Amino acid sequence: MFSKALGSSVLLESGALKNVVRSGSVGDYWARSTARVLFPYDVAGTTATLIDIDALAERYPHVVEYLKLNRIALEGREHGAFKDKRWHRFGRSQNLGCWEQPKILVPYMVPRLCAYCDLDDSYYFINVTTGGYGLTVNSAQVPLEYVCALMNNPALDFFLKRISTTFRGGYYAANKQYIERLPISAADTRSARHARQDIAEAVRELQRLKKRRLVNLLPDDRSNLEREAAVRQHQIDRLVYDLYDLTDDDIALVEDSVPPA
């Protein structure tokens, strides 16, 4: 890995690294890791426990060697508040253990509302302002993929833009105070439950298509994938519109408000 702190490449054991996603690397049904974070913690369930430096050295000697090269800087954080036996810990420990579970990744600042359903990638956001939020749902009530489909639909984007803060360049805040106000359709009729399952299945397939598109492909292969993904995304959007009983005029209104990709 390349270390900005040292200005050089370093050899680190991959077991102590986590894949990081930044806000600009999350889109509608896709996400891409652009960096890794050194994570000296064990995660069990949703609880992260700092690994003692000696135990860490036994498992990841290169990692500890690298940490020691930065020890003075790490101990000096917050005017020396980290000068103790746990000097290698993170400055903020809230929610550290929450990322290795199925969740929806939502960028904090967006030109349009978008989300990725992280089922097994275990992507991390390092903080809100450069990343965003991880949303979990009660999967016994609604599938995670279904909520992701709603978050990517133009109708909810239309709604967000009427309640959110506007920023320069056509960006909107998609933080907690606005996300929690989005109208999530949770109708419990037999037809609604069936529609949710159809949407969830289509989202899984669409994300597989978009994940394949992110790898190096020949131009023709990429074009074919993009066409197939566009068809699948249109299918999902129509199913969501039906859940909200939108008319053709309603659909035209919300789709006209979506900025070009």
Say if residue 158 is in the same domain as residue 224.
Answer: yes
3 state DSSP class of 4: coil
**24 is a domain residue:** yes
| C-alpha count within 13 angstroms, C-beta hemisphere, residue 197 | 7
What's the token pair of residue 126? 């390092």
Supply the pTM of this predicted model. 0.90
Start-end of H helices in the chain: 53-59, 61-69, 71-75, 77-80, 144-151, 154-160, 176-179, 190-213, 219-243, 248-256
**150 is a domain residue:** yes
pLDDT of 16 above 70: yes
* Residue that terminates a domain, selected from 46, 80, 114: 80
pLDDT of 81 above 90: yes
**137 is a domain residue:** yes
Selection from 193, 188, 189, 200 nearest residue 235 by Cα: 200
Q: Under a CB-based contact definition with an 8 Å cutoff, are residues 176 and 133 in contact?
A: yes
**218 is a domain residue:** yes
Say if residue 68 is in the same domain as residue 112.
Answer: no
Say if residue 54 is in the same domain as residue 180.
Answer: no
**47 is a domain residue:** yes
Say if residue 221 is in the same domain as residue 139.
Answer: yes
Confidence at residue 261, expressed as pLDDT on a 0 to 100 scale: 64
Mean pLDDT of the chain: 92
Say if residue 246 is in the same domain as residue 177.
Answer: yes
Q: Under a CB-based contact definition with an 8 Å cutoff, are residues 83 and 73 in contact?
A: no
Distance of CA 235 to the CA centre of its chain: 23
Task: Say how far apart CA 192 and CA 92 lie, in whole Å.
Answer: 41
Task: Say how far apart CA 105 and CA 30 lie, in whole Å.
Answer: 10
**187 is a domain residue:** yes
Say if residue 56 is in the same domain as residue 127.
Answer: no
**206 is a domain residue:** yes
What's the token pair of residue 159? 């709604």
What's the token pair of residue 174? 């998609």
Please write the tens of the pLDDT for every residue from 121-179: 999 987 767 788 999 998 878 899 999 999 999 999 999 999 999 999 899 999 889 99
pLDDT of 186 above 80: no
Say if residue 205 is in the same domain as residue 247.
Answer: yes
Say if residue 128 is in the same domain as residue 57.
Answer: no
* pLDDT, greater one: 207 or 139: 207
Say if residue 209 is in the same domain as residue 241.
Answer: yes
Q: What is the Rg, in whole angstroms, of the alpha carbon atoms belonging to the chain?
A: 21
pLDDT of 187 above 80: no
**120 is a domain residue:** yes
Into how many domains does the chain fold? 2
Domain ranges, residue 76: 2-80
